[in-house]
Amino acid sequence: MEIKNSKSRELWLSKAGFILAAAGSAIGLGNLWRFPYVTGMYGGGAFVLVYLLSIIAIGIPIMVAEFIIGRRTQRNPVGAFGKLGKTKGWQLVGWLGLATGFILLSYYSVVGGWILDYVLKSAGGLFHGKSPAEINQMFDMVLKSPLRQVFFHALFLFLVTYIVSRGIHKGIELWNKILMPLLFGILLLLMVNSLFSPGVREGMRFLFYPDFSKITATAILEAMGQAFFPLSIGLGTMITYGSYLKRDVSLMNSATEICVLDTLVALVAGIVIFPIVFTYGLAPSAGPGLFFKTLPVVFSVLPGGRIIAFLFFLVVAFAALTSAISLLELVVAYFIDERKWGRKKAAIIMGLTIFIFGVPSALSFNTLRDITLIKGINIFNFLDLLVTNYMLPAGGLLIAIFCGWFLSRKESLDEIRKGGNDLFFYRVWRFIIRYIAPVAVLLVFSWKAGVIAL
Ligand code: TRP
């Protein structure tokens, strides 16, 4: 039996399906790639503590706020703010979210493409027996070859578009139910493997030893800023996913479960990566270097490295795919709800548009290298800075203010009550969303925008 509401909007078939899909959105490159490194850099365990605090002070409350807006209106962010906001101005927040999702997916998919490329490379055992220099060169070759990059960028978006075009049940929910358990399983296997490697002490120390001297103001702001990207909040993906949610599911419990899963995966990713990096005495480099140069070097000499490399890149590919799906769904939902397009048409047209928009990012490491430099930053890095430093915190701030100050108490309380949470939790949430979250985000925001210098 199909579960539909009066306007025949598809709703998640089960709560588990919803949690997996939302966790699938949250768990992505932000967790597997950026979080472990930043953690080690800013004082390990001490940073993790601050990060946990910011998840409680910013992450969970804003996620709940997005779910409230989504489920209440059963609309995409633009439609949702149009329906709830008494003035037209609030709709701009929805538009900001849509624009952010569009831009984010356009370059996220470029990295998704590199990862697909590396899934194939590792499946073919290409790292095996290669010298570190040769492996470094492999990544440089990827970056230098425009056709290859555009091809894999297209392939990644094709997969995403296909899944989104199949709809909530047969596309998004189904694929998250398949890919996420696989991701958890493989990640656990990899973790066990890492825990038995000789570098385990040093790796764990890098990740968890609480060096409070590194907890500077910058580290705290970095930890708070980190709350947005890995949790998929601040642009309305959770509004969209919340809009397919049945009335009887508790929004607070769901947000907590999703955030716990997300954080666990981030930590496990660190446990997978650093012990083996330290086993071979390598430096834990940042960003692309860690994934595409350092780790393959480790895999090339690790016992069982061939299969481990393949499983590792497969996990990363799954994580990136399920995140990208939520980004495309955000954009597609707008065209379905507001423009009355069919789902297939919306998915294909937007998938293609985002592909085209992303091509300059794919080329910003080679063909367009000199043309796309903006103040020494290529277009790929420029868009990433724009999204993570400005657009996400701005969106998150506005969502918090809207939910805390403009949405009536009756409306938000009603949504929280539906899932069976009592008044106590509601009061705590409301206090945080009105006072704590906006101030915290404002701090991060002004720091990133350079208003306050540290
Ligand atoms: N959370 C994903 C990651 O960690 C990326 C992502 C998907 C995202 N949807 C989002 C980030 C919405 C911010 C907002 O890789």
Contact between 230 and 28 under an 8 Å Cβ cutoff? The reply is yes
Classify residue 130: in a domain, yes or no.
Answer: yes
Q: What is the distance in A from the centroid of ligand 1 to the CA of 170? A: 22
Crossing angle between the packed helical segments 45-54 and 251-279, to the nearest 10 degrees: 160
Query: Quick one: what percent of the chain has pLDDT higher than 90?
Result: 67
CB 234 less than 6 A from any atom of ligand 1: yes
Q: What is the pLDDT of residues 407-448, one digit of tens each?
A: 999 999 999 998 877 789 999 999 999 999 999 999 887 887
- Domain membership of residue 121 as a residue range: 15-448
Of ligand 1's atoms, which has the minimum distance to the CA of residue 235? Answer: 14
Residue 6 within any structural domain of the chain: no
Contacts of 297 (CB under 8 A, 6+ apart): 127, 132, 135, 136, 280, 282
Residue 87 corresponds to which tokens in the numbers above? Answer: 């003035």
> Does residue 333 lie within any of the structural domains?
yes
Q: Tell me the backbone φ, ψ of residue 377, rounded to 5 degrees.
A: -110, 135
Evaluate: CB of 232 within 6 angstroms of ligand 1: yes
Ligand 1 atom having least distance to the Cα of 324: 7
Question: For 141-189, how does the pLDDT look when each residue is reduced to its tens digit (9 = 90+)?
Answer: 999 999 999 999 999 999 999 999 999 999 999 999 999 999 999 999 9
**Is residue 408 situated within a structural domain?**
yes
What is the structure's pLDDT at 291?
Answer: 85
Confidence of residue 298 (pLDDT cuts 50, 70, 90): confident
Whether 9 maps to a domain, the answer reads no
* Reported pTM: 0.94
pLDDT at 280: 85
Question: From ligand 1's centre to the CA of 235, what distance in Å?
Answer: 9
Is the CB of residue 413 below 6 angstroms from any atom belonging to ligand 1? no
122 assigned to some structural domain:
yes
Q: Kindly give the distance from the C-alpha atom of residue 320 to the centroid of ligand 1, in angstroms, as a whole number.
A: 9
Domain contains 1: no
- Is 285 a domain residue? yes
**pLDDT value for 453:** 67
Please work out whether the CB of residue 324 comes within 6 Å of at least one atom of ligand 1. Answer: no
Structural domain count, the chain: 1
The rounded distance, in Å, linking the Cα atoms of 157 and 336 is: 19
pLDDT value, residue 342: 97
Instruction: Answer whether residue 367 shows pLDDT above 90.
Output: no
Distance between Cα 370 and ligand 1 center (Å):
29
CATH of the domain at 207: 1.10.4160
Residues present in the chain in total: 454
